[in-house]
Chains A and B, each alone.
Chain A
Amino acid sequence: MDDDDVFKALADPSRRMLLDRLCEKNGQTLGQLCESMDMKRQSVTQHLGRLEQANLISTVRRGREKLHFINPVPLYEVYERWIRKFEEGRLSLLHDLKQQLERNKK
């Protein structure tokens, strides 16, 4: 399980859609997810397997049901490594702009 798995798992529109479905309603069964996907049950199962392998979803058995939960932890790690840096740049840009404008006012 590494970054490669995460990016590969995300590089598929059906898998991203499955994550969207879980964002809307967390903790769904395979049956529930199949209802909202225009796709064979077997394909949904395969996609869920890839997502679980990348740790983007986790599953919990509750009685006879297996529930699927979105697991955003690896996404947060991607954010922390690849996105936050750029946001900081933007924030410091805003900060500089504010200072510049305020200085001009004086």
Chain B
Amino acid sequence: MTDKSASFVYVTFIRTTPEKVFEAITKPEIARRYWGHENVSEDWQPGSSWQHVRTDEARTVDLVGEVIESDPPKRLVISWANESQKDDPDQYSRVTFDIEPQGDLVKLTVAHDELQPGSGMLNGISKGWPQVLSSMKSFLETGQGFDL
């Protein structure tokens, strides 16, 4: 059996509302402003597919997956794989977004698990998520994301 034991948990606190965080993940026109990518799905309902699309002219699809669970604006669970490896079930990992209000802040927890130790994906996301979450926080609090 493939070893998919690696996992990460990222947390950021954002001065905003759970609805805005959920939209920042699922609405292409918002994600493109801080992520350098859009997350595109027809309806973000369980069983629907989603794509992670670069915001350049070529609109390259970098990642694909399926919506596993959706409970806006509290929780979203999706599967996650490189587009080039989409036919291999072993290459799919899982990302869980948990969004909970804490006073006047929102706690966003991103758990990325079912990853293969030593895989390229593991390498990529360990750099990628801190950037994306910092940029999202900056965007939601100041209107300005980072250059990703």
Q: Could you tell me which A residues sit within 8 Å of B by CB distance?
A: 1, 26-27, 55, 58, 60, 69, 71-73, 75-77, 80
Contact = CB atoms under 8 A, between A and B. Distances in A.
Contacts of B12: 55, 73
B16 interface: no
B17 interface: no
Interface SS of chain A: helix, strand, loop or mixed?
Answer: mixed
B9 A73 contact: no
Interface string B123-148: 00010011101100110000000100
Nearest to A71: B11
B130 A73 contact: yes
Query: What interface size band does chain B fall in?
Result: 10 to 19
Given A58-B109, A75-B130, 13 more contacts: A26-B8, A60-B9, A60-B111, A69-B7, A71-B9, A71-B11, A72-B126, A73-B11, A73-B129, A77-B134, A77-B137, A80-B134, A80-B138
Contacts, number: 42
A1 B13 CA distance: 9
Give 7 closest A-B pairs by Cβ, nearest first. A76-B130, A69-B9, A72-B130, A58-B11, A76-B134, A58-B9, A73-B12
Interface of B: 6-13, 109, 111, 126, 129-131, 133-134, 137-138, 146
A76 B146 CA distance: 11
7 contacts: A26-B8, A55-B12, A71-B9, A71-B11, A72-B10, A73-B130, A80-B138
B147 to A, nearest CB: 9
Contacts of B126: 72
